[in-house]
Chain A
Amino acid sequence: MTSYELNVNGTTYPIDAEPSRNLLSVIRDQVGLTGTKEGCDDCECGACMVLLDGQPVNSCSYLAAQAAEREVTTIEGIMTTEELAPIQQNMLDAGGVQCGFCTPGMIMSATALLARTPDPSEEEIKIGLSGNLCRCTGYAKIFDAIKETVVSL
């Protein structure tokens, strides 16, 4: 067991966990935030995407202890007011959400993309989301949601 503090969405949590635990399992099982999903546990699907100091990271393949001293943002930390963030609202309005299992990871990747490329081209959007698998939507409406967010920002 190692003990460390984890900052998730601006709140500090004391953690006691095996040193081998990945960030995803600590966020879900110990911090208690289940919005971050596990689709493969093998860096293949992006459902577990979180931001680490603003950078998108597959939390299933990142050691939790390494995230100590850094800022972790999960889907639960995306709303800064009571209202849905523009990317969240646009995902709904565009029809970018079906089963919703990929959605938190998608929104995290989209957020990171828009932070580093405020006006992404179609190609940049596609590359920016290429680590997030969605089986439901065919991606088209997710692209639309991101474009809409660019316009509204």
Chain B
Amino acid sequence: MTDIAPVPNPALPNPALPNPSAPGATRRFVRADGPDKVTGSGRYAADLQLSGMLHAKFRYADVAHGRITTLDTSAARAMPGVLSVLTHADVPDVRYSPGISDRTLFAKDVVRFEGEVVAAVAATTKEIAQAAVDAIVVEIEPLPVVNDAEEAMAADSPLVHTDWESYEADEAVVRSGNTVSFSSITHGDVEAGLSAADHVITSHHVADASHAAPIEPRAIVAQWEGQKVTVWTSSQVPFDARAGICQTLQLPTNRVRVIVPHLGGGFGGKCGFHFEAQIAALAKAAKRPVKLVFSRREEFLAPDRRREGMTVEITSGVKNDGSITARKARIVIDSGAYASDAAFFPQLAAMHVGGPYKVPNVEIEAHLMYTNHQPSGSVRAPTAPQACWALEAHTDQLADTLGIDPVQFRLQNCVTEGDTGIAGQVYGAIGLKECIEKAVAASDYGAELPDDEAVGVAVSWWPSFPGPSGAHVKIDDDGAGQIITGAQECGTGAVMTLRQLAADEVGLQPEDFEIIYQDTGVAPYDTGATGSQTLINNGRAVVRAARQIADELRKLAADHLEAAPGDIVLADGSAHVAGTPTKNVSIPELAGIAAGGELLAAHGSAPPLDYPTVAATCVGEQGVAGWVAPQFACHAVRVKVDAETGVARVMEISTAHDSGTILNLTGALGQVHGGVLMGIGQALTEVTRYSDEGLQMNAGMLEYKLQTAADAPPITTQFVEPGGEGAGPEGAKGLAEAPNVPTAAAIHNAITKVIGTPVNKLPMTAERIWEVQQ
């Protein structure tokens, strides 16, 4: 299995990295949290125990839509061992959620999806807590279930939120009735573009919902001391979790401390604010610490983080010369029962259905609709894999109509430096074209293959998200360094890479730094493990702080060595005078001097970056039409389809990514591999199925079907570093989400080549492939 270009360039130390001076090219990556994780000594939230700790259980709605007519907790409250029972009546009557405040901690009168929390219990044992939850009398009068996002758009559809108008919401969110959020992108004159075309092609695509499915089910422990609460939680976004607790329980931020122990994966599923406030409220009422650990089934049903189902209709006009004249599209997205963080999804989906192509005339509208399903929210590159899958299936159809090779068609139409994108953004140096060339060259594209095999190709893009982020860096008296950061490590290695950035500034080794992280009580703000933003934002904060320390070290060394600070070089654990390595002093010695005077302690914050302007008219503007440091990718996938059963098997994947400068090659490859496998799952097996009553029918690992080790194909990865503007240190862009985007699309195109007809349904299960073949 190779990770890198099969045709290595002997001139470079690592053929995956065109820029050999990039730190990631030469340095072995050592995870600071590695020993904890391979020895089993690392603590995750479910591993925590506190004296007097109680166990929490939730009572759920269990129906998709209804009005609560009876809610009687008296039997539960009377049970020995039960110390607190809470419902909506017991907590502040506050509605929350970013964008649209449509949610309450506990169901208020109406339940809108099966996993909605109606009541919570804390008891001395899990068994008693469960018995108490079962003893709560809940009677629900059924309301009509909105089981489909397209149906939710009908004029006569029942409303999921009858009082939607009364909710507080950002003014930029365009909403009405079941429409949570509407966005459109209009650029040029789409009708004129379509009339100028030689061919106008329309295609229709339906993607089902799926799940983030981290292997760690979430766990939360809350403990009050006086007026302050500490919450240990398996969150990707501790500061968001804190904000949610503060808003719903009406507390100032300095009375809530959120700590994330080791986090067992997230993939977006643990972004947002989930259940921390219910557990904190239970702990307050019981006057004891309380712990919640989710079962796998709860992990599937209750969080407001499902990957959204989507239908897409795309019409494009093309000319016989292979150019695209116009694109029109309509996207309908299933938001589920609440908005979660999804208000920006329509605009983001519109960007992905438009795609990284030169299309002068564009009109794309996207509707995010309430239904009575589990809420959708940011799962790894929200909206993108589905939207890309639809667009790239459509793109192959365009090439096919014109009789042009689909790779050539993409090379002809993809955006390159100086081109204008679908929303009117003009791009700098970007590497999409090179990604296509490299990924395709390293694949079996164009080679003679058996009849049941083919290579499909897809391209994709994804933004980088600049945001506020802070870190402290210090070196103590023995020369040992610490990075104290608000950033959150969810496994990607992004936080782990920070110590390499700090070490490079001060002339120490990464191993000389320890990282204190994911604790809102000690570190400045960071957005969290979301939007692939850690390294680009917190990385800049750490570099800024470490540079101040480096300046201090240079001054101290200059004094000590009787030289000018500007002549001091920090390297290999010591400071020396440039050109005279023998005139040196060790950094621990300088740290010892500093400890008796002005301390080596600094704070850094990521300076804001400007968002590019867009020329398109954007209704429902959510800030995701102009992209800072866009990332690009191309995947070429060889797939084998068994005609008898319809089973598709991925044989090999060739990937090429422009995610800017790669700072940590091991971590970067890990993101590509993990993202690709998640993409294969989404392409072939992962689906959340709903009954006619709006209930999930496969809320378990066995029925949901993640990809296993036995399914994992060989993956090759090439990183393209076009040298354009990055968003992060040394020209880095984000990376964690991008590899998940084009895989399903490329698999679709390979399957279509083998069977001759597009499946146009996601996932492309054996049954669906078989049906299309008939």
Question: Which residues of A are interface residues toward B (Cβ below 8 A)?
Answer: 28, 33-42, 44-45, 47, 74-76, 78-79, 84, 88-89, 91-93, 95, 97-104, 107, 125-144
Contact = CB atoms under 8 A, between A and B. Distances in A.
Nearest to A140: B673
A137 B674 contact: yes
B265 A101 contact: yes
Q: Which 9 A-B pairs have the closest CB atoms?
A: A35-B40, A99-B491, A100-B37, A101-B264, A138-B673, A75-B40, A98-B491, A44-B701, A34-B47
A89 B35 CA distance: 8
Contacts of A133: 215, 701, 706, 708
Given A41-B295, A135-B678, A129 B709 contact: yes
B669 A141 contact: yes
Nearest to A38: B46
Given A95-B666, A144-B1, A139 B701 contact: no
A102 B492 CA distance: 14
A130 B707 CA distance: 9
A98 B262 CA distance: 11
Contacts of B674: 98, 135-138
Contacts of B46: 34, 37-38
Contacts of B267: 135
Interface stretch (B26-34, B82-90, B403-411, B569-577): B26-34
Contact of A34 (B40, B493, B669): B40
A135 B213 contact: yes
Contacts of B262: 99-100
A130 B31 contact: no
A74 B691 CA distance: 41
A38 B34 CA distance: 20
Contacts of B666: 95, 141
B302 to A, nearest CB: 15
Interface string B705-723: 0101110101100000000
8 contacts: A35-B41, A41-B295, A42-B700, A74-B40, A97-B38, A125-B709, A138-B673, A140-B1
B215 A92 contact: no
Contacts of A131: 708
Given A41-B296, A99-B265, A101-B215, A92 B709 contact: no
B464 to A, nearest CB: 21
Nearest to B43: A34
B39 A141 contact: no
A100 B296 contact: no
B39 A84 contact: yes
A38 B216 CA distance: 7
A26 to B, nearest CB: 14
A142 B30 CA distance: 16
Majority secondary structure, A binding face: loop
Nearest to A93: B28
Contacts of B30: 92
B214 A99 contact: yes
Contacts of B33: 100
Nearest to B35: A84
Contacts of B1: 140, 143-144
A39 B708 contact: no
A129 to B, nearest CB: 4
B676 A97 contact: no
A103 B38 contact: yes
Contacts of B264: 37, 99-101
B285 to A, nearest CB: 25
Contact of A136 (B29, B35, B491): B491
A107 B38 contact: yes
Contacts of B29: 95
Contacts of B459: none
Nearest to A145: B38
A84 B38 contact: yes
B688 to A, nearest CB: 16
A100 B42 CA distance: 9
B471 to A, nearest CB: 22
Interface string B1-37: 1010000000000000000000000001111011111
From B266, B493, B674, residue with most partner A Cβ within 10 Å: B674
A138 to B, nearest CB: 3
A47 B215 contact: yes
A135 B44 contact: no
A95 B1 CA distance: 14
Contacts of B491: 98-100, 136
Given A42-B701, A98-B670, 6 more contacts: A97-B31, A98-B492, A127-B709, A135-B214, A136-B670, A138-B674
Contacts of A36: 40
B38 A135 contact: no
Q: Which of A28, A78, A99, A127 is the most central at the interface, judged by chain B CB atoms within 10 Å of its CB?
A: A99
Nearest to A85: B38
Contacts of A88: 38-39
Contact of B215 (A97, A102, A143): A102
B155 interface: no
Contacts of A97: 31, 34, 37-38
Nearest to B34: A92
B700 A139 contact: no
A28 B126 CA distance: 15
B702 to A, nearest CB: 5
Interface in B541-580: none
Nearest to A101: B264
Nearest to A127: B710
Contact of B265 (A28, A34, A98, A130): A98
Interface in B177-236: 213-217
A78 B37 CA distance: 13
Q: Which of B42, B493, B710 has the most CB of A within 10 A?
A: B710
Contact of A40 (B28, B43, B293, B296): B296
B565 to A, nearest CB: 38
Contacts of B213: 135
B490 interface: yes
Contacts of B318: none
A56 to B, nearest CB: 13
A69 to B, nearest CB: 24
B710 A126 contact: yes
Nearest to A84: B38
B340 to A, nearest CB: 21
A136 B263 CA distance: 12
A103 B670 CA distance: 14
Interface in B500-536: none
Given A37-B216, A75-B39, A42 B702 contact: yes
Interface string B657-694: 00000000011011011111110000000000000000
A142 B38 CA distance: 12
A151 B675 CA distance: 29
Contacts of A142: 709
A78 to B, nearest CB: 8
Contacts of B490: 99
A132 B265 CA distance: 15
A70 to B, nearest CB: 20
B131 to A, nearest CB: 15
A126 B262 CA distance: 27
A97 to B, nearest CB: 5
Contacts of A143: 1, 709, 712
Interface string B26-68: 0011110111111111111011000000000000000000000
Contacts of A107: 38
Nearest to A47: B215
B709 to A, nearest CB: 4
Contacts of A137: 670, 673-674
B215 A134 contact: yes
Nearest to A143: B1
B709 A40 contact: no
A114 to B, nearest CB: 15
